[in-house]
Amino acid sequence: MNASNTSPASPAALPRIAVLATGGTIAGAAPDAASTAGYQAGALGVNFLLDAVPALASVARIDAEQVASIDSKDLALPLWNTLAARIDALAANGDLQHYRFCKQKLTELEEEEIHPEPLLRGRDLIAMGFVPGPTFHIILKQVEEAQLGGELSSREEAMEWVHRNYRNEGKR
């Protein structure tokens, strides 16, 4: 009788995934997990985040690179260029078509398309019953990231998102 082989695949047989980290909210941290006071975006390194999911090593060979450790709002053209160049180098094919495409799009797009007007501002949070404080920045940053990621597209959706995710935090 043959026993089935359930051992994990050899590392060489696993797909390779490159992670280029720039920081942002996913890498943010605060001194106290129960409070947003002292929150800093981009505080955690890529290896810290990947170590939090040890099962990844059984499904892929992950090459992580910390390209920057910044708040997403600070992600500007020079860093986009760096990321494009790193992606091309990792692909190791010398093909710069994606880099050129990104550069061309930057010349074609209006600033409003690249960085649209915020769906919510501090005055909107005040109108929703929030008290101005450190939570404002975090809420507005997360709404902006969801907007840029295409998850939120209207003021109403943003307000619903805030009510759902922050219904009791920072309110009067």
Which residues have a catalytic role annotated?
25
User: Residue 100, Cβ neighbours under 10 Å: how many?
Assistant: 12
Coil, strand, or helix at residue 38? coil
**Residue 71 to residue 68: CA distance in whole angstroms:** 9
156 vs 152: CA distance, rounded Å: 9
Beta bridge pairs of residue 64: 19
| Residues in CB range of 98: below 8 A, 6 or more apart | 84, 87, 88
Q: How many CB atoms lie within 10 A of CB 23?
A: 23
